[in-house]
Amino acid sequence: MRLAHSLVPTLKETPAEAQIASHRLMLRSGMIRQTSAGIYAWLPSGWRVLQKITRIVREEQDASGSQEILMPTIQSADLWRASGRYDAYGPEMLRIRDRHDREMLYGPTNEEMITDIFRQSVKSYRELPQMLYHIQWKFRDEVRPRFGVMRGREFLMKDGYSFDLSYEDAVVSYRRMMLAYMRSFQRMGLHAIPMQAESGPIGGNLSHEFIILAPTGESAVYYDAAFEEQDWLKSAFDYANPQDLESFFTQITTPYAATDEKHDAADPRWAGLAAERRREGRGIEVGHIFYFGKKYSEPMGLSIAGPDGKPLTPFMGSYGIGVSRLVGAIIEASHDDAGIIWPDSVAPWAAAILNLKQGDAACDAMCEAAYKALGAEALYDDRPERAGVKFADADLSGHPWQIVVGPRGAAAGRVELKRRASGERVELSLEDALAHIREGGLARAG
């Protein structure tokens, strides 16, 4: 994209309403603009990040065997009456009336709708197990929308649902999702810790929240140092094949990890942990997986024919990822005083090309050549701005690589390549710079 004619409205000043780094940096780098409290428009660079995160989530969901669908944002109140949640949900639900005075709502989640769709279409035990997901906007009228996209009112969620014939099968679905989640977060450059969460009326231990560590997180968290050890995590992934999901699950859920709501200092895994292996911090919830058995299938009358002809009620689970919240969470986990530091896999562009002297024949030619070679993965800063402004905006926006083209270098056929994460700079030919980006950045991003 050529920056001179693009909507990337960077700000020098820090907006007064932003209390945390990610919100500040998203506004300052021109990724989003608020249109109402807790409701945001995604501008080109923000939208590109959101799409890259969406793509990773989608690929890992597909790899786990879940089927993508798209359900509407608007739902009928009757569906929610059938499950008994219409009144229980409270003021977080945005309730709407259509012209015929029918009660509708903007979906905060989709358990009822997916159960209804399943109930209309699936008749036999032979069609199970199944998993379905969609990536769709949700609305929750949060009491205190804050921190930008981290706690918005309208937000993008991946929500998935599993249908199984038995509790044992449902456990397998749950573990498959646990693996898909750990893989998704790892690909985004995040260190997510699965923490035992409140399991609701069904009990059991099949409810986990995925927490990203960040000082500005809303929950206090307590965990075993194992979660900071890359080797330990890698060894868990070694089990991650469909035949040995159980070993993966056991390894990843054995060390102690809990948010303050569930923290139990008397738990032997915490009480018995050496002081130097105990970690306390704060975290952001980016995902939640949950087994709830027949909580919706029973009251909503989802029943299928079993092998002996007798009706069976499927066991269900639901699996959410806060896709738009992740944009903020990644920034919370990866920034410095100058701005965002995007992991390669989710950066809006792999590289920014900084033309330090627009109109200089050698600079312009070299920048055009770089832009042509990198294609859609490049942001070409061709604005008639001072070099200092371009440097500051590139650091602020967090592009993993910067190709800096000045008149002296360009005349000698050389550019400066900067790696945003390390601050490392090298002077080299454009060909070598492109090769570095392709090997280190583009290859992984693609």
Residue pair 152/39 in contact by the 8 Å Cβ criterion: yes
283 contributes a contact to ligand ATP by CB under 6 A: no
Cα angle 47, 143, 30 (rounded to 5 degrees) comes to 25
Tell me which of 111, 112, 285, 381 binds ligand ATP, using CB under 6 A: 285
Kindly state the smallest distance separating residue 290's Cβ from ligand ATP, in Å: 7
208 contributes a contact to ligand ATP by CB under 6 A: no
Nearer Cβ to ligand ATP (143/266): 143
190 contributes a contact to ligand ATP by CB under 6 A: no
340-363: b (≥16 Cβ within 10 Å) or e: bbbbbbbbbbbbbbbbbbeebebb
* Region near ligand ATP per CB under 6 A, out of 283-291, 300-308, 364-372, 381-389: 283-291
Nearer Cβ to ligand ATP (148/339): 148
Per-residue DSSP letter, 440? I
Nearer Cβ to ligand ATP (157/350): 157
* Region near ligand ATP per CB under 6 A, out of 178-186, 321-329, 360-368, 373-381: 321-329
Instruction: Please confirm whether the linkage preceding 343 is cis (ω < 30° from 0).
Output: no
Nearest to 265 by CA among 220, 230, 234: 220
* Region near ligand ATP per CB under 6 A, out of 59-67, 237-245, 256-264, 285-293: 285-293
295 contributes a contact to ligand ATP by CB under 6 A: no
Return d(Cα 141, Cα 91) in angstroms, integer: 7
Return d(Cα 381, Cα 367) in angstroms, integer: 9
49 contributes a contact to ligand ATP by CB under 6 A: no
Nearer Cβ to ligand ATP (286/304): 286
Return d(Cα 199, Cα 194) in angstroms, integer: 14
107 contributes a contact to ligand ATP by CB under 6 A: no
For residues 218-277, which are near ligand ATP according to CB under 6 A? none
Nearer Cβ to ligand ATP (210/349): 210
Residue pair 313/303 in contact by the 8 Å Cβ criterion: yes
Nearer Cβ to ligand ATP (10/110): 110
DSSP-assigned states of every residue in 317-353: EEEEEEHHHHHHHHHHHSEETTEE---GGG-SSSEEE
Kindly state the smallest distance separating residue 199's Cβ from ligand ATP, in Å: 12
Contacts 24+ apart (CB under 8 A), 237-240: 237/182, 237/183, 240/179, 240/183
Kindly state the smallest distance separating residue 57's Cβ from ligand ATP, in Å: 12
Nearer Cβ to ligand ATP (288/335): 288
Tell me which of 48, 85, 134, 151 binds ligand ATP, using CB under 6 A: 151
Separation in Å, CA 62 to CA 20, 180, 324: 34, 9, 20
Kindly state the smallest distance separating residue 167's Cβ from ligand ATP, in Å: 22
Residue pair 29/397 in contact by the 8 Å Cβ criterion: yes
How many other β-carbons are positioned within 10 Å of the β-carbon of residue 121? 8
317 contributes a contact to ligand ATP by CB under 6 A: no
111 contributes a contact to ligand ATP by CB under 6 A: no
For residues 122-141, which are near ligand ATP according to CB under 6 A? 140
Query: Which residues on adjacent β-strands are paired with residue 193?
Result: 211
85 contributes a contact to ligand ATP by CB under 6 A: no
By CB neighbour count within 10 A (0-12 exposed, 13-18 middle, 19+ buried), where does 307 fall?
Answer: exposed
* Region near ligand ATP per CB under 6 A, out of 62-70, 261-269, 316-324, 346-354: 316-324
320 contributes a contact to ligand ATP by CB under 6 A: yes
Q: Which residue is nearest to ligand ATP (CB)?
A: 322
How many other β-carbons are positioned within 10 Å of the β-carbon of residue 287? 27
148 contributes a contact to ligand ATP by CB under 6 A: no
Kindly state the smallest distance separating residue 150's Cβ from ligand ATP, in Å: 6
292 contributes a contact to ligand ATP by CB under 6 A: no
57 contributes a contact to ligand ATP by CB under 6 A: no
Identity at 104, one-letter amino acid code: M
Separation in Å, CA 126 to CA 29, 146, 227, 324, 397: 52, 46, 40, 37, 51
Tell me which of 42, 106, 155, 380 binds ligand ATP, using CB under 6 A: 155
Nearer Cβ to ligand ATP (128/178): 178
Return d(Cα 399, Cα 405) in angstroms, integer: 16
Structure tokens at 197: 């969460």
Q: Which parts of this chain interact with ligand ATP (CB under 6 A)? A: 109, 140, 142, 151-152, 155, 157, 285-288, 320, 322, 324-325
